[in-house]
C-alpha cells in the first residue's frame, strides 16, 4: 500500500508532462545501470526537499552523500532560486556517475560535486565560508555514513544562515531508533544526532517518521535559528 500510494500521489501531483520528470527518471535508470545501490530518496521525498527549498527561497544548499546525484538533481531542477548546490561524495565511481547524470540534466553549472570523505571536505568548506569565499547554506541534507551524522550536523551548524534547515535522512531505521539496546552503527549514529540536536542551543528539531516506497524510516528536521 505504501508503494501504491507513493506512485498514485506522485503521478497526480507531479504529472509526466513536467519537464524534469524525464531527467529524474533517466538519472535513476543510469544510476542503476552503473551498478549503484537503489538507496536514493524516493521521488516524493526528493520533491518534498525541493519544495521546501523553493518555498524558502534557498539559494545555496549543501548535501552530504551524493550517490548518483538523484536528490541533488531534484534540489536544483525543482527550485528556480537555487544558485548552487554543493554535494560531497567519497566513492570515486559514484562521483563519476553523478557528474554524468548532472551533465545530462544540464545542471553542471548549478551543482558542484566534491570528491572526498565528508570529514575531510566539510572542514575545508567551513574555512571557505568563514573567509567569505563561499556563501552560507540555507539548507543542508545529510545522507551519508550514519555513524558520522552528529559530526556532519555540528559542522553544518557553522555554515548555515539564520533560519535554515538541516535534514538528516534515515534516522528512524524501521523503528530501531527507539530501541536503546540496539548497538548497530547506524542506529547509534542516529540516536546521537537526535539526542544532541535536542540539546543544542538555537536548534529546534523534530523527527518525522515516513513510510513509502523506501519502507519505514524518517528524518530529523532541524531549524537552526
Ligand atoms: N542523497 C542521495 C540521493 O538521495 O540521491 C543518496 C545518498 S546514499 C544514501 C549515501 C552516499 O553517501 C553513498 O553514495 C556513499 O558512497 C556516500 N558516503 C558514505 N560515506 C561517506 C563519507 N564518509 N563521505 C562522503 N560520502 C559518503
pLDDT of 1-48, one tens digit each? 999 999 999 999 998 878 789 999 999 999 999 999 999 999 999 999
Choice from 28, 48, 65, 151 to test ligand 1 binding pocket (greatest atom count within 8 A of CB): 65
What fold, for 2-224? Rossmann fold (3.40.50)
Confidence tier at 129 by pLDDT (50, 70, 90) = very high
Provide the 3-class DSSP secondary structure of residue 225. coil
Residue nearest to atom 23 of ligand 1 (CA): 117
pTM for the model: 0.98
Cell of 65: 552523500
Q: Where are the domains of the chain?
A: 2-224
Residue 113 pairs with which residues in a beta bridge? 87
Instruction: Tell me the mean pLDDT in the region 76-95.
Output: 96
CB 9 within 8 A of CB 44: yes
Average pLDDT over all residues of the chain: 96
pLDDT reading at 179 higher than 90: yes
Ligand 1 centroid to Cα of residue 17, in Å, is 30
Which pLDDT does position 63 carry in this prediction?
Answer: 98
- Residues 191, 4: Cα–Cα separation, whole Å: 30
50 lines ligand 1 (CB under 6 A): no
**CA 208 to centroid of ligand 1, rounded, Å:** 21
Q: Is 143 helix (H, G, I), strand (E, B) or coil?
A: coil
Q: Is 89 in the pocket of ligand 1 (CB under 6 A)?
A: yes
pLDDT digit string, tens, across residues 96-125: 999 999 999 999 999 999 999 999 999 999
Q: Could you give the percent of the chain with pLDDT greater than 70?
A: 100
- Contact, 110 vs 78, CB < 8 A? no
Amino acid at each position: 500500500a505504501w508503494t501504491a500510494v507513493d506512485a498514485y500521489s506522485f503521478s497526480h501531483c507531479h504529472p509526466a508532462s513536467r519537464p524534469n520528470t524525464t531527467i529524474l527518471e533517466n538519472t535513476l535508470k543510469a544510476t542503476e545501470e552503473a551498478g549503484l545501490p537503489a538507496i536514493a530518496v524516493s521521488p516524493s521525498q526528493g520533491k518534498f526537499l525541493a519544495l521546501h527549498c523553493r518555498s524558502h527561497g534557498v539559494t545555496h544548499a549543501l548535501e552530504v552523500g551524493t550517490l548518483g546525484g538523484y536528490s541533488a538533481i531534484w534540489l536544483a531542477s525543482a527550485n528556480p532560486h537555487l544558485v548552487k548546490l554543493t554535494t560531497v561524495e567519497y566513492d570515486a565511481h559514484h562521483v563519476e556517475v553523478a557528474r554524468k547524470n548532472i551533465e545530462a540534466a544540464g545542471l553542471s553549472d548549478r551543482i558542484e560535486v566534491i570528491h572526498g570523505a565528508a570529514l575531510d571536505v566539510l572542514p575545508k568548506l567551513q574555512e571557505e565560508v568563514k573567509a567569505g569565499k563561499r556563501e552560507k547554506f540555507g539548507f543542508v541534507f545529510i545522507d551519508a555514513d550514519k555513524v558520522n551524522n552528529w559530526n556532519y550536523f555540528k559542522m553544518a551548524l557553522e555554515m548555515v544562515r539564520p533560519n535554515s534547515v538541516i535534514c538528516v535522512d534515515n534516522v528512524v531505521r524501521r523503528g530501531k531508533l527507539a530501541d536503546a539496546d540496539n548497538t548497530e552503527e547506524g542506529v547509534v549514529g542516529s540516536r546521537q544526532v537526535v539526542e544532541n540536536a535536542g540539546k543544542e542551543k538555537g536548534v529546534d528539531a523534530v523527527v518525522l517518521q515516513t513510510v513509502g516506497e523506501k519502507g519505514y524510516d524518517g528524518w530529523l528536521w532541524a531549524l537552526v535559528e
